[in-house]
Chains A and B, each alone.
Chain A
Amino acid sequence: MIFLCAISFGQNNYSLSGTVVDKNSEPLTGAAVTLLPIEKGAIVDARGKYTISGLTKGTYTVTVSFIGFKSVVDTILINGSKTYNARLVEASINLHEVVVAYDYAKTRKKEEALNVEIVNEKYLKQNMGGSLMKTLERLPGITTIDIGSGQSKPVIRGLGFNRVVVVENGVKHEGQEWGEDHGLEIDQYAVDNLEIIKGPASLMYGSDAIGGVIDLKNRNLPADNSIGGTVDLSGKTNNNLVGSSISMYGRKKWFFADLRATILDYGDYKVPTDSVDIYSYRAALYKNHLRNTAGKEQNLNLSFGIIQRKFLSRFFVSDVNTKSGFFANAHGLEPRNVDAGLHDKSSNDIHFPYQKVNHFKTINKSEYTWGNLKFESDLGFQRNFRQEWSQYVSHGYMPAVFPGSQGFDADLERQFEKYVYSSNLKFTYYKNDFFQLLVGLNSEYQDNRIDGRGFIIPAFKQLSVGGFLLAKYALSAKSSIQMGVRYDYTHIKTLRYNDWFSSPVISLDNDITLQYLTRADAISRHFSNTSWSVGYNYNLPTLSFKTNVGKSFRVPIAKELAANGVNYHHFSYEAGKPDLSPEVSYQLDAGVEYNSNAIAMGVTPFLNYFSNYIYLNPTSEHDRLYGNGNQIYNYTQSEVFRYGGEMHAHYQVIESLRVGVMGEFVYSKQLSGEKKGFTLPFSPPASMILNVKYDKRKIKSAENLYLSIDYRITAPQNNIVPPEESTDGYQIINISLGGDVKLLNQKISISMQVQNLLNTKYFNHTSYYRLINVPEPGRNLIMNISIPFSGKIK
């Protein structure tokens, strides 16, 4: 082991350890212990124990906090390694407000060499958008690719689709990530806190984490012998959304359970324009409604588990159901005439074309602690079922009248059914406060089936297995290094696909025969890859510095290898390349953060190089037979260089008033290939938010009041690649305000937002509908009322 070289430490290297329990002496796993002013901290483990190491001599303020319990604040003199035990008393109102996460966030950010953002429940409520990803869009470095008002995909520093991994409760979420019109199937209300890793994180998350990771966590553990819940009521004026999410949780000694049901119903969303130019065709909009973009969502989440001194095991079961319409005048990007009478009758109904998605997920998450060893396992099963319905249109050589007995409905355009089995095992060895070793093993099996009249990706089966080793070593009280290596093996097998209709094939001697074309051949590919990462952290009381360098990779997906069909949403004939090699990326990340009482500021720049970025390249050719006369788009690989970063600066003017600025930008350039000199598709423009936030802990009986004004300035995006259009810059104002009020002794949390206050007409460069000139939603008033209730089990 390279870490065994002896390093002598000075006398200034003490630790603080102890146990945190409740009044029945049960361990409070997950409680946070924080030391101020150095903001060092630790999370209490399953045995109720914690250790904060690397301390220098001095007097500190120690805070022990946990959801549903009164925090303990104490002063402690450290002049040697000390023990501090705490017994927390339950708070009278069991609002699971995440005070903890704030301290945890700071600690986590300091310990991680990659750039991370931690988001808690409070942030999610105060900034709630049409979907989870829309809510996160305010964070620097995060953008979204949207379709309609309820569907969006995450983009981290300009990389999206299969280049961002979404993890829920330890298991990678698997849907149809490649699709531009496919949103993320997650119940926004069920997410309590999340962590975003900006930058390549293949080391711990495997292939696809090449752009970053969004790690979602469901509710923290309820306190012993408690019962409670929340009723959330939401409304939005722009698309007439009404929604409710009700949750209940309880814990009796070692058993706990949590149930949540969510229902959302929304109408067509409104845009500040009365017509949309689809190519040169002008489609009039009825009362500013983007025709047929209504939708609904019904979700159920159940979790239950047991907690013992050394053992914690939780089951998560979720079922997410959505049905949402596509803009009727342009299915995808294909302009359409519509039956205005039918579509404009009600703004709440959903007609053709629409999509229906069901995502079912079961996860077991367990951990077992044994002396210095911790063993964690995350096992998951998922089924993603997606259908896209639209009226039968005979494109290309498809028969003009749909012949029956094809095994699928004439109006079923595409269907994807994916079964995913995942298993992640992790061993952690805490040798001492200075050295920890992590060994992990991830495996996943995917079985993807297809149906419907349109062919875009073949059915496939994919097995991935990967193992990693990660070591964390404290060089001194202030600095630490982390390094790891990973090996992955992936086998992907795509299935052969023949058209269900015949096309006229012209032979060399000009004979025309009708043939059922083979769109995709059976392909079997094996990939293996080594990735690595080295990171360094240096933390002073007010200044911290981090840097990380690493190699990440991504295995080509079935669509990139074997697509062969017309994407009528784009007028493109997309052809895969069966011999693509895995995408490899090298990235250098850095971060500097300064925190004093009144000022917080930081920058997180990055440099990134892809030796072979996989890219769908629009060529100058057209294809008759397979492409039905459409432009050929080929998957190719090119060298790509990218750089960019995020910055933020906040100044606490007075106790309750804070001003701040956040900014992000990304620059990409293809260094080789047919699009040498061009950028990458969906490049987010540089953007900045100027913010003023007023906070007041208490005014009469109202508590935790806030008023926040965001002025967002987004630069124009003129750095484009076919088939994109340049997008003008824009400025919009968003306001959020809220607080907790008491009504008949019942606490009620209210959060309100006005998005796009001035009803500005602007275009989002990364919106799927950008190409057909659909502006972003107009003014939207959002209201969320959250009513917590709690009690005790005798």
Chain B
Amino acid sequence: MKKAEISILSIFLLIALNSCEKNEDIDSQKPAIDLYIQDAFPDNCDTLYFGETFYMKTLFTDNVQLGSYSIDIHNNFDHHSHSTEVTEPNLDPIKSPVNPFVFIQDYSIPNGLRKYETNLPITIPSGNSVGAFDEGDYHFFISLTDKEGWSVQKGLSIKILYR
């Protein structure tokens, strides 16, 4: 009986050890957002201007294939959150929004790329039907995925002002 016991135990341990080996045929790496390439824009603490168009320049990379990305610009008048960067710009005093600017858009990345540099024109209008947009602190939030569904987020603190 002891023999049977020991053999069952060793089979069990063998399976256990075997399962610890890493599965090599799947992609387990996240994509990356590089905000520090030459001419990268915007960077943390940069200023954008209402009524103007700027070009978003960022480098996206992945070990297998990139997926898609999205941009979200929303106000940070209450100093609420989401900066993923260590440095913080000097924030204006906390204020209540009246007509804050909101921008949300999702973008595709051409199939099969491991490297993609954006040169995306984004126009910030000076106002909408309600009136002029509020100046001040905003968050510029980038989300990037790869084909497998791994994702990475970057949140920048920026200012949007009237020139």
Interface residues, chain A, CB within 8 Å of chain B? 278-282, 334-337, 391, 393-397, 400-401, 542-543, 571, 592, 594, 601, 603, 605, 617-624, 627-631, 643-645, 647, 649, 663, 665, 667, 669, 674-675, 677-679, 686, 715, 718-720, 722-723, 726
Contact = CB atoms under 8 A, between A and B. Distances in A.
Given A280-B85, A281-B84, A401 B22 contact: no
A622 B106 contact: yes
Interface in B6-56: 8-9, 12-13, 15-16, 19-20, 22-23, 25-26, 28
A575 to B, nearest CB: 14
B68 A620 contact: yes
A468 to B, nearest CB: 32
Contacts of A278: 84
A726 B96 contact: no
A631 B71 contact: no
16 contacts: A335-B83, A335-B84, A335-B155, A337-B80, A393-B81, A394-B74, A396-B102, A400-B98, A400-B100, A601-B9, A605-B12, A624-B70, A624-B104, A631-B143, A679-B23, A723-B149
A279 to B, nearest CB: 4
B145 A621 contact: yes
Given A605-B12, A718-B22, A629 B70 contact: yes
Contacts of A667: 19
B105 interface: yes
B1 A594 contact: yes
Contact of A603 (B12, B70, B153): B12
Contacts of A594: 1-2, 5
B147 interface: yes
Contacts of B150: 618, 722-723
Contact of B96 (A401, A618, A630): A401
B106 A335 contact: no
B19 A400 contact: no
A726 B74 CA distance: 32
Given A542-B1, A629-B106, 20 more contacts: A278-B84, A279-B154, A280-B85, A334-B82, A335-B84, A337-B83, A391-B78, A395-B74, A400-B102, A401-B97, A571-B143, A594-B1, A619-B149, A620-B67, A620-B68, A621-B145, A631-B143, A647-B12, A677-B25, A718-B28
A283 to B, nearest CB: 10
B82 A336 contact: yes
B68 to A, nearest CB: 5
Interface of B: 1-2, 4-5, 8-9, 12-13, 15-16, 19-20, 22-23, 25-26, 28, 67-72, 74-75, 77-86, 96-100, 102, 104-107, 141, 143, 145-151, 153-155
A337 B79 contact: yes
Contacts of B96: 401
A620 B146 contact: yes
Contacts of B148: 620, 675, 722
B127 to A, nearest CB: 15
A95 B20 CA distance: 46
Nearest to A594: B5
Contacts of B98: 400-401
Nearest to B67: A620
Contacts of A391: 78, 80
Nearest to A634: B149
Given A281-B84, A629-B71, A629-B106, A620 B147 contact: yes
Contacts of A281: 83-86, 155
Contacts of B146: 620
Contacts of A645: 12
Given A337-B80, A400-B75, A720-B28, A622 B70 contact: yes
Most buried by B among A336, A643, A722: A722
B80 A336 contact: yes
A719 to B, nearest CB: 6
A571 B84 CA distance: 13
A629 to B, nearest CB: 4
Contacts of B79: 337
A515 B146 CA distance: 31
Contact of A622 (B25, B84, B143): B143
Contacts of A396: 72, 102, 104
6 closest Cβ pairs, A-B complex: A620-B67, A618-B149, A622-B106, A400-B97, A622-B70, A629-B70
A592 B68 contact: no
B23 A677 contact: yes
A623 B72 CA distance: 11
A726 B28 contact: yes
B104 A397 contact: yes
A643 B14 CA distance: 13
B80 A686 contact: no
Contacts of B77: 400
Contacts of A719: 22-23
A641 to B, nearest CB: 12
A792 to B, nearest CB: 50
A679 B143 CA distance: 24
Given A663-B16, A715-B20, A620 B149 contact: yes
B16 A665 contact: yes
A622 B141 CA distance: 13
B97 A622 contact: no
Contact of A543 (B1, B71, B99, B106): B1
A630 B151 CA distance: 10
Contacts of B15: 605, 643
B81 A335 contact: yes
Contacts of A601: 5, 9
B105 A624 contact: yes
Contacts of A686: 16, 19-20
Contacts of B143: 571, 622, 629-631
Contacts of A334: 81-82
Nearest to B151: A631
Contact of B9 (A603, A619, A624): A603
B83 A571 contact: no
Given A281-B84, A629-B70, A622 B145 contact: yes
Nearest to A281: B84
Contacts of B68: 620-622
B84 A279 contact: yes
A94 to B, nearest CB: 42
B80 to A, nearest CB: 5
B163 to A, nearest CB: 23
Contacts of A542: 1
